[in-house]
Structure 1
């Protein structure tokens, strides 16, 4: 089936547009320096884009003001009249993402590392009130809540980190285990009331990068009915730069062998990477990825991986507006 004229709906669970815009206030949502733009989302059929709130090293000591500034950028430049995206907040809205008669593009906020919450678990309440729906406790290194995957000691959660998870459970904030240390991963899997996701990670058995998930981690996410967002970060796919798009197929096949065919989605990491998979340089390239997938997998599975699996997760796990 050709997708050249009408792209299928896509959900992408990770990009770093907001941190780029925070560091350079001259950027708008169609600036050529960005991978993810409104026009490219339209071109690629992306109906849902997750926008990570990440505090890069160049921003100074992380604080709640960095989080608030990126939420403000999302509201002013991406959502609403200027950017054109709708903000996804509630379970009741998730089913609208794939309605064929709607042309809306939705954005949802995630927090990539809780450094900016300044050690205060109740800042999670503020994030939730301002529209954040996913929280990853760490980036690659240690903070007040947990160790990241690149922290050599590989510790789990701190006491305050456990308090934060409990508060997320109470609020309905969903947890993202990409970037967590392995011990932290297992503790979150135990403590989280709802199925966690790994928004942008691949399979370590296919390529052994520390940010990729081992088979036991993948199986645990499958058992919990969580989701795994395969990512387009070149260094997670092979040692050499500029891998071909076909390298993703090995990760897809491996997760399917482990029983995860119903749990796969995508988390590109666009705007968080300096090099790209050949042919996957921006969201408009999802059409080419779709064509590749259709050469190797059934149409029904491809549609699930592009959007259906992510949307069903949201329909089951986002907080209910009526509560």
Structure 2
């Protein structure tokens, strides 16, 4: 069963530790590696450009992260850079693993739309305006004041629409979520968020937000961050399935994809510590859903969406 995962933080680890390698990594420091993507039968992995707070606010770490993407990820012979629907079609036809770039937090663009256009030229095809804090574009989900988009944030949304960059709402405050959903003419994605009704965490989506994403023909990436999945000490694959079940009850069967957040976490759902363990989620889903439905959650929905909405 093919896999599409819309969020991992490999590039951040490669940025912080120059000794790490994406291929042939034996240190155990990376969840997502070239070999594990191959073993999981991955058709596409999205690599987030997330800049840790100590380096954030400047353009240079973003460019360095893109350099790591080229030097480590695209250097593997079976990886293919996905910037267009045609690139994804090539992956499907050849069996290559697609690699897509997203930007998680736009602090380093410093409010300049020219820098956003440069990111597009450098292959970025999805962007979340904030991490959990506030910046020049919007308030993040953990910002106490709970503000929405700024004037520059609204301009950013318009520019993303113009260039076909997917807007990722996972880390936005609720007000910024609604501001974005109302302003953009295109579908929105929540690359790595779960259902707040199942696990009441600020980073998860309310039923109203889930329904709005569905109405806009968007996508929701089910994430494996344990404290977004369940509040018990022991969080299992079955708990992940509960989020999928709830979203399906709201009408999201065609809007669900995977957004693991591997390499952005240091604790794991039992049996979901890296791409090679996705088989456990597949087995759990097949107890509740058909093989065709499970395949859609694993890759089919995301592939259909990207073929329609990538340039």
Please give the TM-score of this superposition, normalised by the length of structure 1. 0.93
Which deviates more from structure 2 when the two are superposed, residues 214-223 or residues 24-33? Answer: 24-33
- Aligned twin of 1:117: 109
Q: Which of 61, 68, 89 is the aligned partner of 1:66?
A: 61
Q: Which of 31, 34, 40 is the aligned partner of 1:35?
A: 31
Q: Deviations over 1:157-202 (max 9, x none)?
A: 0111111111111111110000000010011111112101000000
CA positional deviation for 1:61? 4.2
- Aligned twin of 1:95: 89
Q: What is the distance in 1 between the residues matched to 2:271 and 2:298? A: 16
**SS in structure 2 opposite 1:208?**
coil
CA positional deviation for 1:83? 6.3
Q: Which of 61, 64, 79 is the aligned partner of 1:85?
A: 79
- Aligned twin of 2:14: 21
Q: What is the distance in 2 between the residues matched to 1:242 and 1:133? A: 36
CA positional deviation for 1:93? 2.3
**SS in structure 2 opposite 1:13?**
strand
| 2:2 is the alignment partner of 1:9 | yes
**SS in structure 2 opposite 1:36?**
coil
Q: What is the distance in 1 between the residues matched to 2:186 and 2:86? A: 17
- Aligned twin of 1:51: 47
- Aligned twin of 1:162: 154
Q: What is the distance in 1 between the residues matched to 2:46 and 2:123? A: 12
CA positional deviation for 1:62? 2.3
**SS in structure 2 opposite 1:22?**
helix
Q: What is the distance in 1 between the residues matched to 2:37 and 2:56? A: 32
Q: Which of 155, 160, 182 is the aligned partner of 1:190?
A: 182
List aligned pairs for 1:257-296, cutoff 5 A. 257-296=249-288
Q: What is the distance in 2 between the residues matched to 1:191 and 1:318? A: 19
List alignment gaps of at least 5 residues for structure 2.
Answer: none
Change in 2 beyond 3 A, CA 1:120/1:242: farther
Q: Which of 101, 118, 132 is the aligned partner of 2:124?
A: 132
- Count of matched residue pairs: 308
Which deviates more from structure 2 when the two are superposed, residues 131-140 or residues 164-173? Answer: 164-173
Please give the TM-score of this superposition, normalised by the length of structure 2. 0.96
